[in-house]
Structures are given as structure tokens and as C-alpha cells.
Amino acid sequence: MNGKQLAQHIGNIDEALVEEAREVPNYALRRQKTVLRRAVSLAAVLVLMLCSGAVGAVAFRQETEVRQETVELTELGLTLILPEDFARVRALGNPVSDIVAQWLEFFYKFHRSIGYAGAPMHDPCAVMALIHPEIFTIRPMYVQVETGGEYCRGTTVGDLLGFSGHAPNADVLMDVDRSRFADLLVEAIGFYGEAKA
């Protein structure tokens, strides 16, 4: 069979499969429902994206005892994980540490390619602020979410100098002991390799 015959044969198989699919009961109806579900899902995602800034604004405006914490450390390079950190994770030698070290190395390479000095650790930073606040410099501050701006809509804005006259409604993480942050992260990953009693 030459290339042309093979292409024609494959085309015939594709046409036959399409014809068989059309004969399946309710195929067209199921296809329409699938398209509709995807469209509704996309619309929901778009609404959430547009509303998330407004939801954040409402949360920061609440005059309750809820403690809001805002993390502003990533762009300063304070919670970056570096090659020596993921080498320590890999050296733990447990299955979880091996996978985490691979992830950290991947994130490190990606973030280096876009100009970062290391891999930012957003989620571990947020958790660490709750369980080890002593490694952070925390500053009470009035924070709100910009909801009307053309260029920064949805941006969390902190009143660093107190010009707004509003009382602080958030604890903003301003600095972190990066080496202690990395030590605690490695220590946490090490727990996965410990024997159970």
C-alpha cells in the first residue's frame, strides 16, 4: 500500500467512525449538552475572575474580628527556594521528597527563565505565616482591593503610610527570615519519610 492509498484508507476509517457515531442514539443531543456545559463552565470562570476582586474588597471592608493576612514577599525575592534548598529536600531520600525536589527544580528553572532569582513559594509562605509567624516581620495596615481602576482592578492595595486615615484591617507580611523559611520547609517534607509508631 502506497502513501496515497494509506491516506485514503485512513480517511475511509475516519468517515466510517463518524457515521457510526452519528448512529449512536442521542449523539447530537449529547454533543449539544457537552458544548453547553463547556460554555456554562467558561462563563462561570469568567464571572469568578471578574468578581474575585470585588469579593476581596468586601472581605477587607468587613469590620469584624477576622484576621486578614496579606503576603507581599514574592516580588522581593524573600521566599524564593534556591538550588541548595531543593538539594536538601532531595537528600531526605523519601518518595515525597524526591517528587517535591523535582517540582522545585522545575519551578526554579522556569522562574529563572523569566528573570527570578529562584522559585517563589506562595502557598508554603501563606501556611508558614500561620504556623510560624515568628519568622516574619508583620505590620498592621489598612488594605483594600481596587475595584474601580482601569489599570489595577482587583489589585490589593496597602496604605503603607497611613494616608487613608482608616484603622488597620490586615496584618501584612513585610519580611521573612528566608533561611529559616527554607529550613522549616525542608523539615516539613522530612516528616513524610519518618516511620510510623
Catalytic residues: 122
DSSP 3-state assignment of 72? coil
Alpha carbons 127 and 131: distance in angstroms, whole number: 6
Residue 54 burial (CB count, 10 A) = 13
Pairing of strands 119-120, 80-81: antiparallel
For residue 44, how far is the Cα from the chain centroid? 19
Alpha carbons 104 and 156: distance in angstroms, whole number: 27
Q: Specify the amino acid at residue 147.
A: T
> What's the DSSP call for residue 63?
-
Inter-residue contact 135 to 177 (CB < 8 Å) = yes
Q: What are phi and psi of 174, to 5 degrees?
A: -100, -25
Q: Specify the amino acid at residue 5.
A: Q
